[in-house]
Structure 1
């Protein structure tokens, strides 16, 4: 292995040293200069150093001029930079103040808007409060009007006429006469009334207060007329009661029977036909008179001929107009709730107007007790009709036994009259009754018509 000679080593070392010196000079001339605590670029250091030499006594004029120009340029650029910084600071402060003023303005506007909203809110609340007050006042007025309407309705029910009836009472010869009226648009009453209760407890000796009876039966007008207020009745029934000296029985009848008629949803009116004078009681003639007077008073579909002392014990025994003549008082407590004989047709019967006129009503010849109901049965059968009876389980009646009324005398001629009943029925009856009305008075729950039979009061 050949190693380099010493001359080569010295040559290489000399080249290296020259390069190091050259690079170090460049670094010294161009690198940074540290003065005190500051480190600045060497070119700037030379400018500052030249400026200092320019003002020193030993500096040349050319150097001084060059250095003065350099200093002037440097100072102008430095002043420009300082001015730009100041302007930027002032502009920043102005912008900050403007932003602050804008913010304050917006805050004040927000406060104003909030204040206006609060004022509007208070005004709205006051308006709401006032509207609520007005609404309460209106509701109070509506409540008062409703109370007045209810009061008027109660008064209307106690007047002589009702707006929901088919009949309108007019005054003819100082007597109320019923004429047909346009029927209000109501649905027909149900065939099976919904408010029936079935068996009833009857106290035949009850002390009756008629004012209480009236209060418990609203809608029954003065004179004993009633029509269902919520539906159109299917049946218009005139209740005809032959009467004399039975005031106690009549009170008990009103107390128990009027609520039954109302629950059965029939239109009805109660006619009490009182016989004047001291002649023997003639039930058949009084019933004929009652039918004629009721027919003058209203357009009744049927007539219920009702003894005043029979009180129904089951309201499912309906007082509706029948297809055939109907016998209602099938089972009476006096007869142990049994039908005495198959042709019995007394006590309580219902016939339509056509049926009653067809048989010419009752005979007028039965004075005293007994015979007129059997005569009526013969008239029905001889005119080609048959009677109908409800089930004895519902057609139950209690007979009221009074202590102050006179019992009618038994008619001794009743059997001889019955033997000629079919021969007399065309001339003896509804078409031959003779009477004179001596009084007519309307009470709270019935109308009483007092008559003199055959025009005579005393016999």
Structure 2
């Protein structure tokens, strides 16, 4: 029996009515599909410029700052190791390779200053991290150092340096702590002493350096030191009045006056793991620090 249905004032059979309904459904579906998707942007959190690698976004975020120049073999080992190590601790982190791209001597402290300036808006604390020092003990915690700067590579466990005021290698500092002491001195071109000067800055600001406790491993098995001193010699030259100046506390330079050009940034994958590379040109004021370019020592002529 074919029933009659009143539709919009017209008398239609049930089969015709069904056809009209199907046609209207198809037309409305096409219309909705053509509309642009609207996102509720106001509901989204503020974006960060880099992908956080942990699944714990509610935690404080760590910027791992690696001052760098021409150590690609070490970097290839460093990145996968640190990804695995920090992900086991569920630390939200990102690795920044702050690469010096100029003809001056290497300046670790200034590169860390640049990395801090670049990352401070998105990250709560930083790790000043040597590329050749890999933590091996999972009890070395990279947590937010609210109580004071945390020196991960303690003199009791570092494979090479064991004096009490040593804070090199791996040091965790909050954003506020780093700003309080005006970051690191920019006077240290070449190798060494910049971390000793930073220790004095922390002490003058009444910040107590903390160190890991209950670490059962020692100097032979807490860290893996992958620096090959026969292949890459330390630049330990001293020239002009460098020795005199760098033995004193620097009360002038820091993050507020580090002179540099950030040429570009790249996202680079190491074994499929992303890091951010900052290509930085450090600018030297030779009136203040002429030792940013030490003249090569003149070799004695060979006698016939």
TM-score, structure 1 normalization: 0.47
Partner Cα distance (2:242, 2:200) in 1: 14
Rounded Cα–Cα distance in structure 2 between residues aligned with 1:405 and 1:167: 45
CA distance change for structure 1 residues 232 and 280 in 2, over 3 Å: closer, same or farther?
Answer: closer
Within the alignment, does 1:417 sit opposite 2:249 as a pair? no
The aligned counterpart of 2:216 is 393
Greater relative CO (CA pairs within 8 A, separation 6+): 2
Flag the 1:265–1:166 CA change in 2: closer, same or farther, 3 A: farther
Secondary structure at 1:429's aligned position in 2? Answer: coil
**Structure 1 residue 268, shift from structure 2 partner:** 0.6
Judged with a 3 Å threshold, the aligned counterparts in structure 2 of structure 1 residues 168 and 251 are, in CA distance, closer, same or farther, namely: same
Give the whole-Å Cα distance in 1 for the aligned partners of 2:233 and 2:45: 40
Q: 1:294: Cα distance to partner?
A: 1.1
Match of residue 88 from structure 2: 263
Q: 1:319 aligns with which of 121, 135, 142?
A: 142
1:290-347 CA distances to partner (integer Å, 9 max, x unpaired)?
Answer: 1111124x1x111110000001111221111112011111255643xxx511100111
Q: Distance in 2 between matches of 1:344 and 1:246?
A: 24
Whole-angstrom distance in 1 between the partners of 2:116 and 2:247:
26
Distance 1:367 1:245 in 2: 16
CA-CA distance at 1:420 after TM superposition: 2.8
Structure 1: distance between partners of 2:247 and 2:68: 27
Between the aligned partners of 1:393 and 1:278, the Cα distance in structure 2 is 43
Contact 2:188–2:246 (8 Å) recurs in 1? no
**Cα distance in 2 between the residues matched to 1:408 and 1:278:** 16
Aligned CA RMSD, in angstroms, stands at: 2.5
Answering whether residue 152 of structure 2 is matched by residue 328 of structure 1, we say: yes
Counterpart of 1:353 in structure 2 is 175
Aligned-partner SS, 1:251: helix
Equivalent residue, structure 1, for 2:77? 252
Q: Is 1:168 paired with 2:168?
A: no
> What SS does the corresponding residue of 2:75 show, helix, strand or coil?
helix
Whether the 8 Å contact between 1:309 and 1:401 is mirrored in structure 2 is: yes
Unaligned 5+ runs, structure 2: 1-43, 286-291, 294-304
1:414-436 C-alpha deviation (Å, 9 max, x unpaired): 65234431xx33x2111110000
Q: Secondary structure at the match of 1:447?
A: strand
Greater Cα radius of gyration, structure 1 or 2: 1
**What whole-Å deviation, never above 9, does each CA across 1:269-310 have from its counterpart, x for those lacking one?**
1100000123211101011011111124x1x11111000000
Superposition pairs of residues 119-198 of structure 1, within 5 angstroms: 168-169=47-48, 177=49
1:226 to 45, 53, 77: 53
**CA-CA distance at 1:405 after TM superposition:** 5.7
CA distance in 2, matches of 1:333, 1:345: 10
Secondary structure of the 1:287 match is helix
Hey, which of these two has a bigger chunk of strand by percent? 2
Alignment match, 2:101: 276
8 A Cα contact 2:85 2:138, kept in partner: yes
CA distance in 2, matches of 1:451, 1:227: 27
Is the Cα–Cα contact under 8 Å of residues 157 and 217 in structure 2 kept in the other structure? no
Match of 1:306 in 2: 129
